[in-house]
Amino acid sequence: MWDKVRRQVAFERQHLRRLLGTYDVLVRKCDTSPPDDFELSALAAMLHAFYNGIENIFKRIAEGLDGGLPATQFWHRSLLDTMSKPGTARPAVISPAMVDRLDAYLDFRHFFRHSYTFSLRWERMKDLVRECELTMEMLENELDRFFASGPGTTHP
């Protein structure tokens, strides 16, 4: 099962890198001037898709190694929290510090899904936008450590 989950997560990681690459020019532009309303909407969609991709990784792990998703009303939050704790067939996937970092992206995803684009504010989004690359890098390092600890991995 670990090999199947590894392949699924690799697929999601590839898509996340593609997403960030697609928006790279716009993100860099915002370092020198604030986005207009259309750019702000595009960046909000990027943040939404970014967290969805990360959640897809966690869903694949939960379904493949934990036997399914959390069965609670607030399963999105519960899924994120459970990734920092060992499951019955796996070690913790991410650190508590990564949960804290990703919590802001989950909150934004919820806001985006339940609001109008005219409610978006660059001041509230800019740190998340600017931190996407670093967050992805940190997440990938933690995922690499997680998969290195799984079965079928040779340890030095």
Query: Is-contact 47 128, C-beta < 8 A?
Result: yes
Whether the predicted pLDDT of 19 surpasses 80? yes
Distance from C-alpha of 13 to C-alpha of 54, rounded to nearest angstrom: 8
The pLDDT value recorded for residue 152 is: 58
The pLDDT tens digits of the residues spanning 117-139 come to: 889 999 999 999 999 999 999 99
Q: Is residue 120 part of a domain?
A: yes
Query: What is the pLDDT confidence band of residue 156, given thresholds at 50, 70 and 90?
Result: very low
CATH value at residue 95: 1.20.120
Interior CA angle at 39 toward 34 and 42, to 5°? 135
pTM, entire model: 0.93
Structural domain includes residue 117:
yes
Residue 154 domain-assigned (yes or no): no
Query: Interhelix angle for 96-113 vs 75-82, to 10°?
Result: 160
Give the pLDDT mean for 51-69: 96
156 located within any domain = no
Residue 153 resides in a domain = no
What is the structure's pLDDT at 88?
Answer: 86
Dist CA 107 CA 60 (whole Å)? 21
pLDDT digits (tens, 9 = 90+) for 80-98: 999 999 998 899 999 999 9
Percent above pLDDT 90 for the chain:
87
Cα four-point dihedral sign 49, 52, 54, 57: negative
Domain interval for residue 87: 2-148
Q: Indicate whether 33 belongs to any domain.
A: yes
Domain count for the chain, please give it.
1
Which residue in this structure is represented by tokens 């750019």? Answer: 39
Residue 29 belongs to a domain: yes
* Domain-located, residue 155: no
Distance CA 72, CA 37 (A): 36
Q: Does residue 71 sit in helix, strand or coil?
A: coil
Single out the residue of 146, 143, 141, 138 nearest to residue 89, CA to CA: 146
Place of tokens 């604030």: 34
